[in-house]
Amino acid sequence: MRATQFLIATQKETPSDAVVISHQLMLRAGMIRKLSSGLYCWLPLGLKVLRKVEAIVRDEMNKAGAQEVLMPIVQPAELWEESGRWEQYGAELTRFNDRHTNSFCLGPTHEEVITDLVRNELKSYKQLPANFYQVQTKFRDEVRPRFGVMRSREFIMKDGYSFHIDQDSLQATYDVMHETYCAIFNRIGLNFRPVEADTGSIGGSASHEFHVLAESGEDDIAFSDSSDFAANIEMAEALAPAQSDEAIIGTSKTIATPSQKTIEEVAAFCDSPTDKTLKTLIVLGEKNDESEEQPLVALVVRGDHTLNELKAEKLPEISSPLTFASEERIQKELGVSIGSIGPINLPITTIADRSAVAARNFICGANQDGFHIQNSNWETNAQFSSIADIRNVENGDPSPCGNGQLHIKRGIEVGHIFQLGDKYSKAMGATVLSENGKETVMTMGCYGIGITRVVAAAIEQNNDDAGIIWPSAIAPFQVAIVPINMHKSDAVADTCQALHDQLSAAGVDVLMLDEPKARLGSMLADVELIGIPHRIVVGDRGLANNEIEYKGRRDEDSQMLNKDEIVDLLMQKI
RNA sequence: CGGGGCGUAGCGCAGUCUGGUAGCGCACCACACUGGGGGUGUGGUGGUCGUAGGUUCAAAUCCUGCCGUCCCGACCA
């Protein structure tokens, strides 16, 4: 490819609204342009990368026995009413009417459509298992689109759905998909971890996320330093610590804390570490019957710990989504303001975290404004109704797998696989006849990869001051040919053209910077910004010695290579 | 949804407080010089100052509404 025939839209300056490095570099390298919030145009350079990611995904999916289909972006409301998600899905689902006033939505995902398709096409257990996938545009009207294509409203996803006669079959395909995802991300060249995950709004049972480790990630991943265990922090279990062996101080002491409300303030005031305090959070509970108001429930965690909202809202006593009680209601029903609450004679259900239960001689609110109690103990003055794991794990916590300590890092979710079970197939009547002629609801799995997000994630993980450093497998071009004074030297022009033709014929994606009077400095800066893995510079000085300069994108220095051997050497490196 | 910032040329910004001819750098076009890391000079192209209304002799500038966009916030006991 010649640069004069290909839009190189690089920019020297970073657009002011780009915050994360991948977004900045994608704009500067001329890969994408914003059309509107969360909507992006892909320029030729960006699309080239996107297509390479897609090709790898397709190749591995096909190898794993999945079949490609293509379903519409626009989906009829009826299907979503059948599954129940027309009601459940919030404002993220964009709905509209056609000219006949029929309701439709823009597909944020395709479970309904594939289930409809499969229930009509598959009739026998003999056709199972079946695994279908597509690479298709999705639209989710995100509350807050951000970070460029990392979290955009319109994006491209590879979504796959498998159908089974029983759980064993689903598990087998799920395992294959797990391996396939590892193969895909390895091939792309990402540093990633599969992690145990929550199933979220898609529903179902078992689930793994695939995270690219990067500081800009929006998720916290906890993983063991001495085993394969890894989980989204939402899911990572905090093990019960050993009961504190501190001797119980028999007499608690009420102390005035007139202006100390937060844990930090109280702990500092008492000259005590925050892990010697307990905090009590008041949330709304599940109603016992329809008529009454949602009861208040107290959640107690150690002062240095943070509440895991997902764990909390899964408890039967707690209303989902987790909602904190209003200051007014707390004042009215408990007669105390936020900042002085403690698990002392509370007239409501009180759920204590495992670590809170193990504490001795702790400081907690006195349920009287401006007072806390020192040397409180569950054995003496404090009470809980039940114990649960409701906190987030922290760096250094023991791993729930039993081996090693947990470390927490940020991750970008690029893939997610679920065992859906019969959530959709049952609701939508997707059945086949089993071996004994009985109508049987199919069991489903679903498997997603954020294609557009993978591109951004790859950049987050591979960049330097000069720009992007593409992993070889998804680089828009493998080799850049940079001529020096091509317009003055026939030798340079001819050599570059010959190298370009040879490499192209060998199937190498090569970009020749053929702008006649381009400055060397700006060409090199572009090649580095765009992130092309291999670069050769052709000039008269080198050619006089039958040499051509080579530099890998990550190399410190360039080296001179024999002109006659350079094509072979490049082919080896690619 | 709440809070905050910003909207002036493709990009980055100044000008707004204190109303008076719309500017700078990059990019782009032409010419010349230069020629191994975003070079220099000369001359150019390009803007209904987000939008609608108001105040005024006069509005990018002051006032009001709207729109767009970005950031922060769902850990407070």
Whether the bond into A321 is cis, omega within 30 of 0: yes
Is residue A277 packed enough to be buried (19+ CB in 10 Å), middle (13-18) or exposed (0-12)? buried
Maximum Cα–Cα distance for chain A, whole Å? 95
Give the nucleotide nearest to A151 (CA→C1'): B70
Q: Which nucleotides of B are covered by protein (CB under 7 A)?
A: 1, 5, 10-13, 25-27, 34-39, 68-77
Can you point out the beta strands (E) in A434-524? 439-441, 443-450, 463-464, 467-468, 479-483, 510-512
Angle between helices A21-28 and A451-461 (to 10 degrees): 100
Distances (CA, A) of A455 to A53, A159, A553: 8, 17, 18
Q: How far apart are CA A277 and CA A266, in angstroms?
A: 8
Distance A519 CA to B40 C1' (A): 13
**Which residues 6+ apart lie within 8 Å of A123 measured at CB?**
A432, A433
Residue A204 confidence (pLDDT): 57
What is the spatial distance, in angstroms and rounded to an integer, between the CA atom of A11 and the C1' atom of B10? 10
Alpha-carbon radius of gyration of chain A: 30
Say if CB A9 and CB A47 are below 8 A apart: no
Instruction: Give which of A72, A73, A74, A71 is closest to A96, Cα–Cα.
Output: A74
pLDDT score, position A253: 87
Q: Which amino acid is at A265?
A: E
In this prediction, residue A290 carries a pLDDT of 66
Residue A495 near residue A563 (C-beta atoms within 8 A): yes
Residue A259: count other Cβ atoms within 10 Å of its Cβ: 9
Identify the pLDDT of residue A546.
96
CA A182 distance to own-chain centroid? 15
Q: What pLDDT is recorded for position A234?
A: 84
- At A340 the pLDDT is 86
User: How many CA within 13 A on the CB side of residue A248?
Assistant: 11
Up-side HSE of residue A442: CA atoms within 13 Å toward CB?
31
CA of A37 to C1' of B58 (A): 38
**Residue A541's closest CA among A504, A502, A499, A492?**
A492
Average pLDDT, chain A: 92
Model's pTM, two decimal places?
0.91
Nearest nt (C1') from A321 Cα: B74
Task: Using the structure, give the distance in angstroms from the CA atom of A522 to the C1' atom of B31, rounded to a whole number.
Answer: 22
Which nucleotide lies at the shortest CA–C1' distance from A482?
Answer: B36
d(CA A157, CA A137) in angstroms, rounded, equals: 6
Q: For each of chain A's 574 residues, which pLDDT tens digit applies?
A: 999 999 999 999 998 889 999 999 999 999 999 998 999 999 999 999 999 999 999 999 999 999 999 999 999 999 999 999 998 888 889 999 999 999 999 999 999 999 999 999 999 999 999 999 999 999 999 888 889 999 999 999 999 999 999 999 999 999 999 999 999 999 999 999 999 887 655 555 689 999 999 988 888 889 898 998 888 888 888 998 888 888 888 788 898 887 777 788 888 888 888 888 999 988 888 877 666 678 889 999 998 888 888 888 888 888 877 888 877 788 888 888 888 889 999 889 999 999 999 999 999 999 988 889 999 999 999 999 999 999 999 888 999 888 999 988 899 999 999 999 999 999 999 999 999 999 999 999 999 999 999 999 999 999 999 999 999 999 999 999 999 999 999 999 999 999 999 999 999 999 999 998 899 999 999 999 999 999 999 999 999 999 999 999 999 999 999 999 999 999 999 9
